[in-house]
Amino acid sequence: MASIGFIGLGIMGGRIAKRLMDAGHKVTGYNRTKSKAEWLIQAGMQWADSPYDAARACDLIFSMVTGTEALNAITSGPQGLIAGLKPGQIYIDMSTVSPTASREVARQVAQKGAHMLDAPVSGSVSTLEAGRLSIMVAGERPVYEQVLPVLRAIGPTVTYIGENGLAVSMKIALNISLAAQMLAFSEGVLLAEKSGIARETAVEVMLNSAIASPMLKYRGPFVLQQPEEAWFNARMMQKDLDLALEMGRQLNVPLPTTAVAGEFLTAARAMGLADRDFAILFDVLAKKAEPS
């Protein structure tokens, strides 16, 4: 059993930390807003007052934060986790961030004599709770093999991608399809509804058809009723699409469906829907379909 530090205890990070606790690991956690971590503290998680303290207290450090800016905030400075790292320690970042920024953090970690892996996940709250989360990992292969048993306590499918930064590149490439699928699904449901078919019936038929991907099966019903707490909100999805568009420009890869989905997420933000699950794309389309 490992002594684990976990930084970033949001809707996914908190549940991953709890899964590690349930597997018997001792977890010390830090979150910018402590109140969001109270349920974990009550379940037996130790609290750290800073990322530095979490790194000093543990053998293995995880983080899962909202983006590149948040990653820099938790890793840098005298209270950052890099300052707290010891030689030989392993740091695993599960955030979806700029691959360039991830590689820079890995370089700074290596200067401390420690090791970093980028290990973003594919899945949702329901996937995680069902024990079906998929994890992509990049960094030194011997380090990956050392922590593989711990990663498998989080999700059963763990894939080694290559050198630092390639796992977050893979995650960004993957997330393009989430937004594109949700937008196409919403178009189909709205078209059926406008033709006279009940929305519930359209959703049922589409989720039992050839188009029903795993993501649509758990997120498709959100066009009928949004969850009280967004599993992955419109703002975060647009952040990932922006990362993809940046990569596309750097690598000369045209990303037309990514750009279109991003524009509809811009519309969602303009409508005050940024904090709703990105399935809110349906509502944006429906609004645009109303008579002027």
Residue type, 146: Q
pLDDT at 127: 84
Domain ranges of the chain: 3-163, 169-288
pLDDT at 124: 82
Is 270:280 a contact under the CB 8 Å cutoff? Answer: no
The Cα 61–Cα 37 span in angstroms is: 17
Q: How many of the other CB atoms lie within 10 Å of CB of 33?
A: 9
The Cα 233–Cα 226 span in angstroms is: 11
Residue with tokens 């609004």: 287
For 157-174, give one letter per residue: b (16+ CB within 10 A) or e. ebebbeebbbbbbbbbeb
Is 64:12 a contact under the CB 8 Å cutoff? Answer: yes
pLDDT at 126: 82
> Of 42, 63, 36, 93, which Cα lies nearest the Cα of 229?
36
3-state secondary structure of 1: coil
Residue type, 33: T
* Token code pair at residue 83: 């300052």
Residue 119: CB partners within 8 Å, gap ≥ 6?
A: 92, 93, 94, 135, 136, 137, 138, 151, 167
Superfamily of domain 3-163, CATH level 4: NAD(P)-binding Rossmann-like Domain (3.40.50.720)
The Cα 13–Cα 39 span in angstroms is: 13
Cα dihedral value 262, 264, 268, 269, nearest 10 = 40
pLDDT at 131: 84
Is 285:190 a contact under the CB 8 Å cutoff? Answer: yes
3-state secondary structure of 63: strand
Report yes or no on whether pTM surpasses 0.85. yes
Per residue of the chain (292 residues), give pLDDT as tens.
789 999 999 999 999 999 999 999 999 999 999 999 999 999 999 999 999 999 998 999 999 999 999 999 999 999 999 999 999 999 999 999 999 999 999 999 999 999 999 999 998 888 888 888 999 999 999 999 999 999 999 999 999 999 999 999 999 999 999 999 999 999 999 999 999 999 999 999 999 999 999 999 999 999 999 998 899 999 999 999 999 999 999 999 999 999 999 999 999 999 999 999 999 999 999 999 988 7
- Write out the catalytic residue numbers: 171
| Fold annotation for 169-288 | N-(1-d-carboxylethyl)-l-norvaline Dehydrogenase; domain 2 (1.10.1040)
E-state strands within the chain: 3-7, 26-30, 46-47, 60-63, 90-93, 115-118, 121-122, 134-138, 157-162
The Cα 195–Cα 154 span in angstroms is: 44
For 249-280, give one letter per residue: b (16+ CB within 10 A) or e. eeeeeebebbeebbebbebbeeeebbebbbbb
Is 110:89 a contact under the CB 8 Å cutoff? Answer: no
